[in-house]
């Protein structure tokens, strides 16, 4: 399995502000993934974070809104910029381990007022 | 694009009963993942299936993938209140997974 931690676990933010979410993995991984789960919805992939290169964003997500850093092989951050109530979601980071098993962090529950 | 449909959307059972959750893909799956999520929390990895016809069990939970790799079922035997939560299937090719909308399971004592 994988031990993945996220900070913060939850936050309540004002419209127009930004929040940076941290994800720490217990061992080195090539790719880290950021997902969003809006209320009552399933998970949607935001972007793939590769160490040493720009993140790859999925359709509908842009770097200006969701800048990602990947300074080393065990850590990544996702920033939710200029937040609006529509950004209220659970944000999860994820990694693949051997045998193609994919593990998720505990999530960051964001509420934007 | 690939889509995963889960059924039922919600399920209420009495403790001790068996139940089945289904996940159907619009395309052949490279791999099929099952997760459990408690409300507002992260996902707990349950099982992954890759081969057509594959079946895996862990404690009282059994997951199967059909031969065509487009349909999977998750079966819980003798359900307990600890099984309550949202069950999500995820699947796709490469490393990009698409997820179903989840099945909310309630187990009444």
**Nearest-by-Cβ selection for B43 from A33, A99, A104:** A104
Cα–Cα distances in angstroms (integers) from residue A8 to residues A22, A82, A97, B60, in the given order: 7, 18, 24, 34
Q: What is the CA radius of gyration of chain B?
A: 13
Q: Which of A100, A105, A110 should be substituted to probe chain B, the one whose Cβ sees the most B Cβ atoms within 10 Å?
A: A100
Number of Cβ pairs < 8 A linking chain A and chain B: 52
Structural contact between residues A19 and A80, judged by C-beta atoms closer than 8 angstroms: yes
Q: Contact B31/A100, CB-based, under 8 Å?
A: yes
Q: Residues of chain A with pLDDT > 90: what percent?
A: 79
Determine whether the interchain pair A104/B35 forms a contact, defined as Cβ–Cβ distance below 8 Å. yes
Q: What is the mean pLDDT of residues B73-96?
A: 89
Q: CA–CA separation, B3 vs B80, rounded Å?
A: 30
Look at residue B15 in the predicted model and tell me its pLDDT: 97
How far is residue A110's CA from residue A87's CA, in Å, rounded to a whole number? 8
- Confidence check: pLDDT of B26 > 90: no
Closest Cα to residue A66, out of A48, A42, A43? A48
| A99 three-class SS | helix
Q: Is A32 on the interface with B (CB under 8 A)?
A: no
CA distance A16 to A111: 13
Q: Percentage of residues in chain B with pLDDT exceeding 90?
A: 72
Using an 8 Å CB-CB cutoff, list chain A residues near B49: none
What distance in Å separates residue B62's CA from the closest CA in chain A?
17
- Judged against a pLDDT cut of 70, whether residue B9 lies above it is answered with yes
Which region among A58-67, B21-30, B88-97 has the lowest average model confidence (pLDDT)? Answer: B88-97
Residue B95 pLDDT level (bands cut at 50, 70, 90)? low
**Helices H / strands E in chain A, number of each:** 0, 11
Q: Residue B48 half-sphere exposure, CB side, CA atoms within 13 Å?
A: 17
Q: Check if the beta carbon of residue B20 is closer than 8 Å to that of residue B6.
A: no
Under DSSP, is residue B15 helix (H, G, I), strand (E, B) or coil?
coil
On average, the pLDDT of chain B sits at 91
Query: Shortest CA distance to A2 belongs to which of A109, A108, A98, A70?
Result: A98
Give the whole-angstrom CA distance, residue B83 versus residue B25: 24
How do residues A53-83 score in pLDDT, each as one tens digit?
Answer: 889 999 999 999 999 999 999 999 999 999 9
Determine which of A95-99, B75-79, B94-98 has the lowest per-residue pLDDT on average: B94-98
Angle at B27 between CA B26 and CA B28, to 5 degrees: 140
Q: A48 CB near a chain B CB, below 8 Å? A: yes
CA gap A75, A81 in Å, rounded: 20
Those residues whose C-beta lies under 8 Å from the C-beta of residue A62, and which sit 6 or more positions away, are none
């Amino acid at each position: 399995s994988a031990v993945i931690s996220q900070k913060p676990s939850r936050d309540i933010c004002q419209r127009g502000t930004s929040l940076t979410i941290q994800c720490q993995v217990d061992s080195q991984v090539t790719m880290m993934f950021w997902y969003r789960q809006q209320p009552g919805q399933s998970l949607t992939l935001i972007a793939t974070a590769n160490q040493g290169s720009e993140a790859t964003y999925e359709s509908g997500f842009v770097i200006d809104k969701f800048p990602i850093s990947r300074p080393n092989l065990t850590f990544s951050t996702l920033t939710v910029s200029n937040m609006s109530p529509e950004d209220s979601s659970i944000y999860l980071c994820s990694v693949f381990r051997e045998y193609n098993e994919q593990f998720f962090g505990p999530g960051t529950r964001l509420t934007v007022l | 694009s690939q889509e995963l449909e889960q059924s039922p959307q919600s399920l209420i059972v009495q403790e001790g009963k068996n139940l089945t959750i289904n996940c159907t893909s619009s395309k052949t799956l490279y791999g099929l993942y099952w997760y459990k999520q408690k409300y507002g929390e992260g996902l707990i990895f349950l099982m992954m299936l890759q081969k057509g016809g594959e079946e895996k069990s862990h404690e009282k939970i059994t997951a199967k993938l059909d031969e065509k790799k487009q349909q999977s079922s998750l079966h819980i035997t003798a359900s307990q209140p600890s099984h309550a939560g949202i069950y999500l299937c995820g699947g796709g090719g490469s490393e990009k997974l698409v997820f179903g909308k989840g099945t909310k399971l309630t187990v009444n004592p």
